[in-house]
Amino acid sequence: MSAGQFAVFGHPISHSLSPQIHQAFAHQFGLELEYRTIDAAPDAFNAAVHQFFAEGGRGANVTLPHKAAAFALAHERSEAASRAGSANVLTALPDGRLAAHNTDGDGMVRDITERHEVDLRGHTALLLGAGGAAHGAAWALLDAGVETLTIVNRTPETADALADAIGDPARAHTRYWEDLADLGAFDLIVNATSAGVLGASLDLPFAIVGNRALCYDLSYGEAATGFLAWARTAGARYAFDGLGMLVETAADAFELWHGQRPDTDPVYAQLRQQYG
């Protein structure tokens, strides 16, 4: 049975595992779908999205650097997307309009708490970065029960804007990147920066890693290698990349589009075996 046309938008995007993941999910239900990558520069993103849906597209995943733009062009927005101000999923509505969703945070928390069996309640959390990916993660971490969320970003105004949007200064606050070495140790450190994708080094102090710390990179594969190597050298108890998060967020999108929840474990296991 044909399930229609789907795609993932990004820039760059050729590295994306989303086509492989969605084909694996579709195979579980005997569905045939067309799922492709679309590389769109920022100034061409809106036109590319409208063309895709005008030509019969049913749904699209959205990754760097287009999550804020995807949120802006949608006509309806889920609560998670509205809180984050960004979207990683676009869905065609029957009347031709577009709905935006953000499944990043839920997918990340589910990967940490269910797949890796780490309870986040009571953790002191440090969020590195304040862009679209960080917005998706911040509320989910608070919903998961972290005690405090400290947000640092090289552009402090961006971090301040995220903390202000959360509006819970007792739990979510910002600090300057330059002061990282003086902030003490954290139980959870989430790398939501694009440093790994861009091949840049974060140059983080070891002092921020607590003795039971979980270090989690929202990226996966080569992009996460530097951060995870730093975490292990710093003595983190756990160091995970975002491959499981990618699979979980893809499952959320698949369920939105097809009304069926795929089994993520075999798909994650296959990808982990392939990509380490």
Which residues are identified as catalytic? 67
Strand partners, 57: 5
| Residue 20 CB partners (closer than 8 Å, separation 6+) | 271
Q: How far is CA 272 from the centre of its chain?
A: 18
Tell me if residue 199 falls in helix, strand or coil. coil
Query: Would you report the helix, strand and coil content of the chain in percent, each value rounded to 5?
Result: 45, 25, 30
Residue 206 DSSP symbol: G
Nearest to 191 by CA among 168, 215, 161: 215
Measured between alpha carbons, how far apart are the two ends of the chain, in Å? 33
